[in-house]
Every structure is written in structure tokens, then in C-alpha cells.
Structure 1
């Protein structure tokens, strides 16, 4: 009671001074806006007709695809370069408290040349993944370095081992299927991808343990649950509620379990002598690469490994599941793909070499078209703006906002992709063939599954494009190819020709993980 009275007395004596200070600050801010103008004032807001930011936030949570496509179409219709209108960008209200400005893909070339202290890839991840609460590890240049300098160059010699792990995981995870058998393929793929990725990340011994598979899969699931749980909380309440959400508590427990799992392996690796042969996997490359950066603690390495699992398992499983859902809906394409895979492997003695994977051009196109029509997210090239800058149009993008490119809206633009809502499995195969016939080999290569370009942005763009995309592409191709060579696949009875709709929440787009496909083992003569 005495404390309350003391506080009242202090504020009572200082209240006039506080009010006058607030008034002066408010006047200064209003004067600056009047003189300099509000840099966001001339950027249209999608969903303005909804009347409030809270309603726009709800629209984003449950209809983000429509929000982005609506904004994309509106600015294209309004843009008039002859009158030098600047509003070919638009704003959206997301589930987060920061302002998001959506920028057309035509600016990608100039955006990618901006320095990291102007637009920050890491800053965007920190905000969009709510790293403050999820404790996601992402600020490690060593990891990108290792992927680019060790993993990707090693794929030529690692591909047979990856293929061996795919086949071994099939034997462990898929039932015999002598007749048509229902399988929740998403759940099976989670385990298969965890096993295959784990072999490259930590080596066979640990990767095949149930403790690792459980940790890798559940960290991925729990991280996304935690992210969605935080997004569902109103921004101003997050500092108070987010740390106590059950999803956040579960994620923290998972991180502690991951550290305990990795501790014995790290002790073993750190005790290797210089004369002993070192394993060829990501963990060893990271340990060896620490001298270029700094030593990592056991806790940091555990989080890094779980983050690698998240990056590998989450998107790889989604893409493979979408591909298999499309194969089940369009079974007429299965014999064509099977013939291509069989023909290519006949030249390598059945070994999945890098060249063999590159020669599976129709399979590459089928997977890329699956990713085009059902991308994992509505946007790409997400960056936090640290310093204000101007686009070549003259439009100023102020510091403090998040910028992104409407990747999914691009893939649904009929001027870029004719009949964009129609699944055309050979779309990219045909594009590559046409360009090669015209002598445009470099342009043809841009339409491969793992390539980056300005029309399909699933792997990002510029210097921060996904460094592990080549490993992921090889892994997905091997998984789908092995299924095609071992099983017939179809939709359940009564569902023929009907694609399972994906689940959308905010900007994410995931295949329904609860659905089943029918599998039947191929009997070879």
C-alpha cells in the first residue's frame, strides 16, 4: 500500500512534465511526417475494404493465397509506367506486427545486389520464424560454407550411398503390399527422409537409431506448431503469452533432448586422432570447419543439427508428398516416367549416379510442376529492410519493413505460365527441349528442378538461395524413382481423379498429412 502511494506521488508531481514531453515528441513526429511524407502512404493495402487491420490479419491467416494474388493483380492493373506511377508494390497485414511490403519479381535483379546491411535475410527469418521464442538457430555462416564447399561437391560420390539408404529405408518403412494397401505416405516419407538425411548429417550409426528419427521428425513438427501458435497470438500479447505456450515448452524440451542425444557422438568425434579416418558427413565437416569461424558448444551443435533436420525434412517431405499425390491422381503418366527411369538406370548398371539423375528429365519436370502448382509458401525472397532504399521506379522502401516477392502469384500468372491452374507434368521438360533446340542451353538449364530463376522461387533467389537444394533434389528424385520402380500407386476407391486439397495456414501451404494412397508391389517376371 505504501509503495502504491509513493508511485502515485511521484507521478502526481511529474505528470505535467510527462504530458508536455509526450506532446513535444508527438509534434516532432507529426512534423517529420508532414515534411518528409509517410513512405508507406502511397503503397496500397490489400484488403482495405475489410475496414480494420485485425480483419485483414484474419484474412491473411485463412486466405493468404487469395490476399497475395489479389494484390498482385491489382497492382498490375493499376501500374502505368508512362505516368511513372510508383505503386507497383503493395502492403499486406500478416499475423505478425511488422509491416510487409510485397515487391514484384521484376525488381529481383536489383534487390539481390543490395548489401546485407540494407536488406537482411537473417533478419527476416528471425521475425517470420519468431526466433525469439522458437530459438531457431540460423545465424551460422559455417553451415552454409560447409554445404557449399563440402556437401554439394561430394554429391557425385555420395549419391550411391544416398540411394542405398533410400532403398534400405523402403525395406524398413513400407509394408509388403502384395495387393492394394492403404498407406499414409506423408508419415512414411517423414521417416524415410529423416533416415536418408540423417545418414548424410550424422552417419549411419546414429541416423538409424529410433532416438534420432524421433528427434528429427518431431523437432520439425514441433517447430512449425510453435510458430503457428505464436502467430495465433495477437502481436501485443506475445511477449507475455508466447513463452508460456505449451507448444513453445514442448519445443524447448525437444532442444534439450537433442543436446543429450548428440553429446556422446560429439565426444567420440572430438577424440578422433589425426591418423584415424574421419567420417564423411555434415557433423564432421562442421567440426573440421570450426577453425575458419569459431568453436561451437555442444548445445549449439545440437541446435544446428536439428535446424538442418528441419530444413531438410520439412520441405523435402512436402515436395515428395505433393509429387506422389499428383502421381496417384494422374496415373496415366506413371508408365512414361517408369520407362524413362528404367532406360536411364540401364546405362549405369542400376546406380543412381549424378548423370543418371540429370538424365531423368521428365521426372525432373513432374516434380518441378508439382512444386509450381503447390509451393510450400506464398512468398519468397523474404528480407528485413535495415536501411531505407529506393527501387528503380523511385518507390522508397523504408527501414523496418519486411519485403517479399509473391512467388505463388507468379506461378499462377497466365502471362508467365499458360493455363497456370492446370497440372502439366511436361511443362518444364518441353521448355527445356525448346530452348535447347534453339541453342539456348543456359536458359534451358534454368528450368531444371534445382535451378533458381525469377519465375519459380521455391528455392529462393540470389546469394541466399537454398544452398542444400542439390542434395534435396537428388534425394526427392531417388525416393520418387524407387517408388515408381517398385510400386503401382493410385487414389482410394471413389477418389479417382480427385486431388487431396492442401492445408493452408497463413503463408504456408502443406499437403494434408492425414491422407492415404493405395500401393501395390510390382511383381517382376
Structure 2
């Protein structure tokens, strides 16, 4: 009997081996899936001191790693409810733990830790799979980050003037031209992505190239492709990415080659001007390309290196701004009770100041509406994740192992202690009825320990003030020129969650018609 059983086992094993040998895809699939399971198990068995959450299932913590993909929001909410007064809980991911921090003391503590302890660059390198989506120079030589932070702060007035002009022109070209004084049902997601992409490319590469339709297609698609590619690669464990995944799915070489078709002539023309006139000349463009070329040294001056950085800047500016504005426009359609007051506020200030930064600074009700929109319909349940460069302990005794991720909990946005009736949308929640500005302590673009969509402290998103002005300018233009309502069945489409990240549906339709009393802000 034993001999017979051995014969059966060997026969089955031989059959399996022949199947795997003849079907390469099946073999790779089996190896990858087994490696994922083993990797998740090893991560989940690690001991850290923080309480894990999110797997009320007989499979215990092993199930948690899989559940994180589709239920991270509820998992995080469960942890926040228990630790909202201050503490740490952890959520299982494929390759590490995500430590989620609550309470003012600990949230402030993690944002004050030095970059050699908690690194945002290291987190982005893994989260966005920068090696395969943007190029390693972005991570290992990030000189452009300091350049952008400095220039965005020092040139805000000029940048607001350029981008607010461009966002209206772009909207009219991409959406407005399809509208008249009757209701038209339109897909708005991709046109709004292109609107934001074109707007910020105005200050990345200038007005001529940003309006080139072929370039705009490339730039807007790249902003989405790199995000999706990073998500896909992160499904796999670390040791199979370079061989079985990253090299197969990366679009980077093709994208860089295609982008250089547009960038190289521009770079060459700027280089010729610098050679002839030095770094300053009359009518020199003040845009990201000029800022980089003024700063670059050695290999940084190559057309390929500049191309990679321009693409990265394009993606960073397009992704968050387009998703946030789309959510705000949906909220306008779903809450028409705010339209008249926001429209009047915009009209009064545009009449007094024109569509200028001074006018936008006075839009206190709109500032509150946009801030509430980002509170209720943000970009996920964790914010500005950073990666542990070494094992360290938080002040409450929690051990954070090297390679783990740390974030503040965005579930605070639904905490009744800070936001009464947090599940309800209150467009005037942040409006004080007095002078309001995007730069005041409570403004849309100003984070605090209870409002964290932009991050917090030294790692808060550098472009947030500019983005806030662009969003207000575009919303003012839409309210003064159009009526909007939800298309389809008139209901808000469900947001899409992937892990702790959230986006609006890609299938949003809106009905838009031009108002007879429209104000031509674009003229």
C-alpha cells in the first residue's frame, strides 16, 4: 500500500512538473503568489508593540494583509476609534506595517523627526516605485525639491496670475466649448485632469508648449500612468520586482523618449540664450525649466535629466489638484444650496478686483467650501506617509522597525471632538464671517493637527497655496459662467479605494449649461 501511495504521489508531482514546465505563465504565477503569501506571513509575524487592526476573521492576521487592499478605510477607522485620544495602531501591508499615529502629541512628534529617521523621499521611492516610474535621479539627487519650494514661495503672486489665467482658458477649450444654454451631459474626469495639467504646465514649460494638444495628451497620461504603475508593482514582494514585474511594466523609457521630443528644442533654445546673455536676460521665462537650468550642475544639465524632473513635477502638480477639484465640483452639484451665496461672493469680488489674487483672498465662503470638500472627500485615510530609515521608538514606547511606514490618521477628519456632525457636509463649517484668506490660520491651504490633507509641518506640500488659488479661480469661473448638476441617475458615484488611498469614480458624468448672464472671466 505504501508503495502504491508513493507511486501516486510521484505520479502527481511529475504531472505537475510537466504542466509547469510547459506553461511558463502558470509557473511564474504560482511562484509569485507563493512568494507573496510567504512574504506577508513573515511581515505579519513580526512583533512591534503596536496593536494590529482589521482582521475579524478566522485566518487572523494573515487575512489582514489581503483585506487591506479593499477595506483599509474601515480597518483604519477601527483603530482610530480605540486610540483617538493618542496612541499608535498598525495596519498590515504586503511588504511592511503601516503605523498610524493619533493624538496631537504623537502627530507633532512624527512630523518633527529628522529625515534620517523618517523619510518622505524613501517612502515615495517605494510607494510610487520611482525607479520604474520616474527614474532614480529623482530620489538620489533631489535638488529640484529645494528649488521648487524656494521658488513657489518667493514667486507666488506672479505664479497665481499666470495659473489663474491659464486654468480658465484651459477649461473653456476642454469643456466650455462643448456647452451652450441647454443642458449637456459630459464626461468631466479626463477633461479636468487635462485642465489642471495644462494649467500647471504653464509655469513648468511656458504657455506655448502647455497648449500643444499632443504634449498635453502625453503629460496628462503620464501623471496617471506613473501612479497606477506604482500601485501595481507594490502588489508584489520586494525580491520579485526587479525581475518579474518592474522591468515588464515600466513605461519610463518610452515616456522619457516621447517627452524629449518636446523638451529638447526648448532646453536647447534656453541653453543658447544662457550662453549668449548669461543667466539673466530681458523677457527670460520664469518657469520650472528656467529654475532647474539656473541651478543644475554637471550631469543635472543633460536634456534627459531635465526631462525626468519636468515629468515628475508635472505628475505631482496634476494628480492631487485634479482629483481634489473634481470632488469639489461634485459637491457643488450635490449641494446646490451653496451655489447662490458662492456665486454672489465671487461676483462681488471679481467686480471689485477682477479675477486677481486680491479677489481670491476675499472668497472666505468658497475657501470654507473647498476645505470642507477636502475634509469629507480627501485622498485617503492616511497622509504623507514616511518610511523608517532605522528602527526607533516613539515617546509612548512603540517600536517602529526599519522599513515600516508611519502616517497620521486622516480619520481625525470625522472625529466629533473637532468636527460636529462629521459625516454631514457643511460648506460653511470653516467660515468665520470675517476677513478670510487662503493664508490665514484657518484657510483652505493651511494644515493643522486636526486638518491634515496637505500634510503637516516641514513636510506639508509646498504647492498647496498655489493649488488653492487655482481651485478657487476655476470654481469662481464655473459658478459665474455655468450651471452644473450631476448626470446619470443624479446620485454621487461611490469613491474608489485602493488600500488607504482614495479617488473619485472615473465614470463621472455631469450636466453643464452656460448661464445667459455668464461673466467672461477669460477675456
SS at match of 1:427: coil
Query: 1:287 Cα deviation (Å)?
Result: 1.0
TM-score normalized with structure 2 length: 0.83
Match of 1:259 in 2: 260
Match of 1:9 in 2: none
Q: 2:485 aligns with which of 480, 490, 503?
A: 490
Q: 1:47 aligns with which of 54, 73, 77?
A: 54
> What is the rounded CA distance, in whole Å, between the counterparts of 1:252 and 1:60 in structure 2?
32
Conserved 8 A contact 1:39-1:397:
no
Match of 2:416 in 1: 414
Structure 1 residues 158-215: Cα deviation after superposition (integer angstroms, max 9, x where no partner): 3333222122213311213220001112121111111111111100111111222012
Conserved 8 A contact 1:133-1:242:
no
Equivalences for 1:291-330 in 2 at 5 Å? 295-330=300-335
Conserved 8 A contact 1:222-1:251:
no
Equivalences for 1:107-256 in 2 at 5 Å? 107-136=106-135, 137-174=138-175, 175-234=178-237, 237-245=240-248, 248-256=249-257
The answer for unaligned runs of 5 or more in structure 2 is 1-44, 519-523
Conserved 8 A contact 2:133-2:250:
no
Is the alpha carbon distance of 1:223 and 1:145 closer, same or farther for their aligned partners in structure 2, counting shifts above 3 Å? Answer: same
> What is the rounded CA distance, in whole Å, between the counterparts of 1:158 and 1:444 in structure 2?
15
Query: 1:383 Cα deviation (Å)?
Result: 1.4
SS at match of 2:301: coil
Conserved 8 A contact 2:384-2:455:
yes
Q: What root-mean-square deviation, in Å, do the aligned CA atoms of Structure 1 and Structure 2 show?
A: 2.5
Is the alpha carbon distance of 1:135 and 1:201 closer, same or farther for their aligned partners in structure 2, counting shifts above 3 Å? Answer: closer
Is the alpha carbon distance of 1:171 and 1:386 closer, same or farther for their aligned partners in structure 2, counting shifts above 3 Å? Answer: closer
> What is the rounded CA distance, in whole Å, between the counterparts of 1:505 and 1:211 in structure 2?
30
Match of 1:99 in 2: 97
Is 1:341–2:341 an aligned residue pair?
no
SS at match of 2:296: helix
> What is the rounded CA distance, in whole Å, between the counterparts of 1:93 and 1:384 in structure 2?
15
Conserved 8 A contact 1:211-1:261:
no
> What is the rounded CA distance, in whole Å, between the counterparts of 1:76 and 1:474 in structure 2?
33
The answer for unaligned runs of 5 or more in structure 1 is 1-37, 80-87
Query: 1:398 Cα deviation (Å)?
Result: 3.2
Per mean C-alpha deviation after superposition, the further-off stretch among 318-327 and 277-286 is 277-286
SS at match of 1:422: coil
Count of aligned residue pairs for this structure pair: 463
Is the alpha carbon distance of 1:185 and 1:140 closer, same or farther for their aligned partners in structure 2, counting shifts above 3 Å? Answer: farther
> What is the rounded CA distance, in whole Å, between the counterparts of 1:105 and 1:141 in structure 2?
32
Per mean C-alpha deviation after superposition, the further-off stretch among 318-327 and 106-115 is 106-115
> What is the rounded CA distance, in whole Å, between the counterparts of 1:145 and 1:41 in structure 2?
34
Per mean C-alpha deviation after superposition, the further-off stretch among 168-177 and 230-239 is 230-239
Query: 1:342 Cα deviation (Å)?
Result: 0.5
Conserved 8 A contact 1:75-1:90:
yes
SS at match of 2:51: coil
Conserved 8 A contact 2:439-2:446:
no
> What is the rounded CA distance, in whole Å, between the counterparts of 2:265 and 2:349 in structure 1?
42
Conserved 8 A contact 1:44-1:91:
yes
Per mean C-alpha deviation after superposition, the further-off stretch among 334-343 and 54-63 is 54-63
Conserved 8 A contact 1:156-1:353:
no
> What is the rounded CA distance, in whole Å, between the counterparts of 2:487 and 2:506 in structure 1?
15
Conserved 8 A contact 2:361-2:437:
no
> What is the rounded CA distance, in whole Å, between the counterparts of 1:140 and 1:478 in structure 2?
35
Is the alpha carbon distance of 1:295 and 1:226 closer, same or farther for their aligned partners in structure 2, counting shifts above 3 Å? Answer: closer
Match of 1:58 in 2: 66
> What is the rounded CA distance, in whole Å, between the counterparts of 1:211 and 1:343 in structure 2?
38
Conserved 8 A contact 1:327-1:333:
yes
